[in-house]
Amino acid sequence: MPDQQERQHPEAPQQVVPQSLNDYLEVMTKAVFQSGMSWKVVNSKWPGFQAGFQGFDVGKVAGMDDSAIDDLAADTRIIRNRRKIVATVHNAQRLIELDEEYGGIRNYFRSHGDFYNVLKDVRKQFKYMGDTGTYYWLYVLGEDVPDYSEFCNRGK
């Protein structure tokens, strides 16, 4: 039986309970690659992303060198956008750094007080994370976000 949120937003993505930084990286990477792309295309290629980014092992992705990036940029199993691949490596590195700095990535989120302050800082800390991608990332990971219609209508 669908929960109340699914009835209100049938198109809402499925939420996950993150078990490690790897989950944060995987959801973030999906947000990065979905920007400007069809979700259907991204979802159909997702098994290739999981393989190419080594199961989204944050340490392995953070350590990818130019040769590994070149290999991924030529891999037809994924969307071959080199800038977004490089961004994913950078984002893995920042996740590790922020996790260490704040004693946990969730503490990083909490240090900002509210969603809009987190949103502003995520845009500074990570590459290719715009407002909608950040909303998606935080929503899927079960973080507190405003109602989507409120988010879309802010400042109007």
Domain count, the chain: 1
Q: Is residue 9 part of a domain?
A: no
In a domain, 26, yes or no: no
Q: Does residue 129 fall inside a structural domain?
A: yes
What predicted TM-score, i.e. pTM, was given to this entire model? Answer: 0.90
Q: What is the CATH number of the domain that holds 123?
A: 1.10.340.30
Domain that holds residue 109: 38-144
**30 falls within a domain:** no
Contact 31, 136 (CB under 8 A): yes
Q: Would you give per-residue pLDDT tens digits along the chain (156 residues)?
A: 334 343 344 467 899 999 999 999 999 999 999 988 888 999 999 999 999 999 999 999 999 999 999 999 999 999 999 999 999 999 999 999 999 999 999 999 999 999 999 999 999 999 999 999 999 999 999 999 999 999 998 865
Residue 51 lies in a domain: yes
Instruction: Give the Å distances, CA to CA, from 27 to 13, 30, 99, 141, 148.
Output: 11, 5, 16, 8, 18
Going from the C-alpha of 28 to that of each of 8, 31, 97, 132, 155, the distances in angstroms are 24, 5, 16, 11, 25
Is position 76 within any domain? yes
CA distance 144 to 132: 15
